Structure 1
Amino acid sequence: MVTLSPGILLIADPFLKDPNFSRTVVLLCEHEEKGSFGFVINKLFDQTLSDLVPEVLLGNIPVYYGGPVQMDTIHFVHREPSLISGGQEIMPGIFWGGRFDEVVNAINKGLLAPDRVKFFIGYSGWTDGQLEAEVKEKSWILSQTEAGLIFEHQEQQIWQQSLKNLGSTFAMMANYPIDPSLN
């Protein structure tokens, strides 16, 4: 049984109505008594990193919509603790945050490959007990994951692939229509 903890994926139920989370997959980065937070990993934002951070010299680094909270903040997860200090390991080999100046420097020097870091604007947050209640209501399906899925750049495939990875019972859900009346 998968339990709420850092590194777990929250896969939106196919019929979740909240437009912020419809057909999303959230990487949970922190889960404590006071609340939880994570990042939507499969919703591409409409600006690149260099659009948001002029110091970044490469113009093609995607940014993802991390969630509806604090849309004026940029966050990241990565697989490069030797290049980026200060990150918190949320699962083996995957780190959340760290020194942003080191990330920018590593990108500008060509030391940080795009499949080793993922950027988010905003985040997804839950108050004490809120996420547990949503899981109990079956708004979210919990899953363990592999790093490859987190850093996948075919974001439109992540939700379906996450369900398929759970086996045949959930794989059928991957093809459910967004509007059940269309079925």
Structure 2
Amino acid sequence: MKSLKLNIFEATEPQLAPAKGRVLIAEPFMEEPFFKRSIVYLAEYNHEGAVGFLLNKSSELYPDEMIEDLFNFRGRLFIGGPVESDSLHYIHTLGAMVTGSIKISDNLYWGGDFEKIKSLINIGMANENNVKFFAGYSGWATGQLEHEIMEKSWVVADVADDLVMNNNVDNYWQKMLEELGGDVYRSWANFPHNPAFN
């Protein structure tokens, strides 16, 4: 009976390969507290491993409460992952205006000159729609992410740039699964937080 239940929830669609600019969507059976029902945006992926940021876990803090000389930034500080949680990272759409940025997709960039980021925000040329701040990051060593995908911990999906920058992350995990379509992903989206209480 247990195997029948797992078969019902097993995805049959071809699995995309992880790549820079794609997301990892946690499968509903993942119980690891940090990544449960999470969506991770991959900012880097190569033979040495992967770096990503949780898109749907915001904190109660605001970057302008913590960053000296940053003013009137209305977006929350997001939890990027469990690695180096005291470090600050940012994804933005400012491109060549911020030297040292790493291009992720057509419109999204990672990092770059932090003083320039602050200046653009403070003079009103950038805001929470252009910049998303993260505390810490999610990281995988060589082969580690591939192993987790083979163990069915993650589904890899493409994502639109505007969804990455979206600050409204309520029910984000469920919404992304529903957008993937198909009966399996809809079942996952409605999977109870604690199956024992279902």
TM norm. shorter chain > 0.5: yes
**1:38-74 CA-partner distances (Å, limit 9, x unpaired):** 0001100221101220210115331100000001111
| Unmatched segments (≥5 aa) in structure 2 | 1-14
Does 2:118 align with 1:86? Answer: no
CA distance in 1 between counterparts of 2:51 and 2:127 reads 26
Does 2:28 align with 1:31? Answer: no
Match among 115, 129, 133 for residue 119 of structure 1: 133
**1:96 matched to which residue of 2?**
110
**1:58-95 CA-partner distances (Å, limit 9, x unpaired):** 15331100000001111011111143222111122111
Q: Is the 8 A contact 1:63 1:120 kept in 2?
A: yes
**1:46-85 superposed matches below 5 A:** 46-58=60-72, 60-85=74-99
One-letter amino acid matched to 1:91: S
**1:118-143 CA-partner distances (Å, limit 9, x unpaired):** 11000000111110000000100110
| Worse-matched range after superposition: 68-77 or 148-157 | 148-157
**1:174 matched to which residue of 2?**
189
**1:135-154 superposed matches below 5 A:** 135-154=149-168
Equivalent pairs counted in the alignment come to: 183
Q: Is the 8 A contact 1:74 1:122 kept in 2?
A: yes
Displaced runs of 4 or more, over 4 A:
none
Identity among equivalent positions (%) equals 34
TM-score, reference length from structure 1 = 0.95
Q: Is the 8 A contact 2:51 2:140 kept in 1?
A: yes
SS of 1:45's equivalent in the other structure is coil
**1:163 matched to which residue of 2?**
177
Does 2:53 align with 1:42? Answer: no
Per residue, is there more strand in 1 or in 2? 1
One-letter amino acid matched to 2:165: F
Does 2:36 align with 1:22? Answer: yes
| Worse-matched range after superposition: 49-58 or 78-87 | 78-87
One-letter amino acid matched to 1:151: M
TM-score, reference length from structure 2 = 0.88
| Worse-matched range after superposition: 69-78 or 83-92 | 83-92
Q: Is the 8 A contact 1:51 1:59 kept in 2?
A: no
Q: Is the 8 A contact 1:15 1:178 kept in 2?
A: no
Larger Rg: 2
- Aligned-CA RMSD value: 1.3
